[in-house]
Amino acid sequence: MDNFFCAEQSRQSGVDIIGSAAEHQIYVAIECPPPWTTDDMESKGIPDNLRQLSEAIYDDYDRFQTRFLLIYNEHLKQENCTRVLFFRKPSGFANAYEKQEFHLTNIQDVAPLVQQYVRGEPIDLHPIDHPTRDILICTHGSRDRCCARFGNPIYHQALKIVEEYSLEQVRMWQASHIGGHRMAPTAIDFPEARYYGYLDPVSLTAVLTRTGDIQCLDKIYRGWGVLPWAAQVLEKQLLLTCGWDWFSHSVTAQVLDCDADETFNRVELTDKSPTGECQTYHADVVADDRCTVHLKGSCTSEKLSAITPYRVKDLSKS
């Protein structure tokens, strides 16, 4: 099975990948050059104080709901500078996560800063005022070989696209594990926290420039991290219906009801246009058992897992 790649199997199955975006309250992205070990926070470039802090925060995930990521771009690296990017999910209507960026001269200083931020304590440093889109593409091959096989080429393609289209406010980053090896190449578009998978140069160009046929997102859109997973399924349908203008809208959503195994979910989503007009949608998001497939979740998985997509039923608006 040395030639087996879980992402190829998953892509060939045609299963919908919507609803697979993570819902963390806080992301901490730390500039650190690869190679990264399987557990990214065990990598050589991570100091002991930061490694120990990440373990403590992960051990109390229900409290902190924080995800650490390592990022790198050799073209952006500055001498004696470690970038730390924080993204926090806002309450109420949201169009994106709240971003703060700090530049530190020593990576040893990252842990105290992260601890202050995650605990909501006052921070002495002033953030960098640099409004950017930060696109993180997983290239973490030591975690799953699909992320190297498919992530590295699309990352280098992304650098060319950014240059070709003069996307001066877009920064591309290699990133450690963001979840979903079988959907490689995967990416998160911050600060909005929209997740993508199965990217190729054509679909990536559409994502970066927000032009072209919106239907290209049908196969690659994993969901929007500001929303509960079931609401992500509904939001995708609204996005494909409304087109690229949808990306300027703010939303809030909740799951009103669900059964024990979440095969049935009653979802409410309200969107607010840039002019302040609101529209509320209700729909049932239900498991489509007819389309269940059995796939390996990673290249090294010994067993197949049942993957059941979801669909929208009884959509109404008010």
The whole-number average pLDDT for the span 24-34 is 97
Q: First-to-last CA distance in the chain?
A: 52
Which positions ≥6 away from 255 have C-beta within 8 Å?
A: 228, 230, 231, 265, 266, 267
Residue 60 lies in a domain: yes
Q: What is the CATH number of the domain that holds 147?
A: 3.40.30.10
Indicate the pLDDT class of residue 3, thresholds 50, 70 and 90: confident
Residue 244 lies in a domain: no
Indicate the pLDDT class of residue 254, thresholds 50, 70 and 90: very high
pTM of the shown model: 0.97
Q: Residue 159: in which H helix or E strand, if any?
A: helix 151-164
Residue 310 lies in a domain: no
- Beta bridge partner(s), residue 282: 268, 316
The whole-number average pLDDT for the span 237-261 is 98
The whole-number average pLDDT for the span 40-46 is 96
Q: Which amino acid is at 278?
A: C
Backbone torsion region of residue 204, taken as left when φ is above 0, otherwise alpha when ψ lies between -120 and 50, otherwise beta:
alpha
Cα 252-257-263 angle, rounded to 5 deg: 105
Residue 234 lies in a domain: no
The whole-number average pLDDT for the span 37-43 is 96
Burial per residue of 271-296, b for 16 or more beta-carbon CB atoms within 10 angstroms, e otherwise: bbeeeeeeeebbbbbbbeeeeebebb
Residue 261 lies in a domain: no
Cα–Cα dist 35/54, whole Å: 19
The whole-number average pLDDT for the span 279-285 is 98
pLDDT at 2 over 90: no
Q: What is the DSSP string of 5-54?
A: -HHHHHHHHT---TT-----SEEEEEE-PSP--SSGGGSTTS-HHHHHHH
pLDDT at 229 over 60: yes
Residue 289 lies in a domain: no
pLDDT in tens, 125-179: 999 988 999 999 999 989 989 999 999 999 999 999 999 999 999 999 999 999 9
pLDDT at 1 over 70: no
pLDDT in tens, 66-119: 999 999 999 999 999 999 999 999 999 999 999 999 999 999 999 999 999 999
**Residue labelled with tokens 């246009």:** 273
Residue 256 lies in a domain: no
Residue 285 lies in a domain: no
Number of folded domains in the chain? 1
- Segments forming the whole domain that contains residue 85: 1-227
Cα–Cα dist 307/16, whole Å: 9
What integer best gives the mean pLDDT of the chain? 96
pLDDT of residue 99: 97
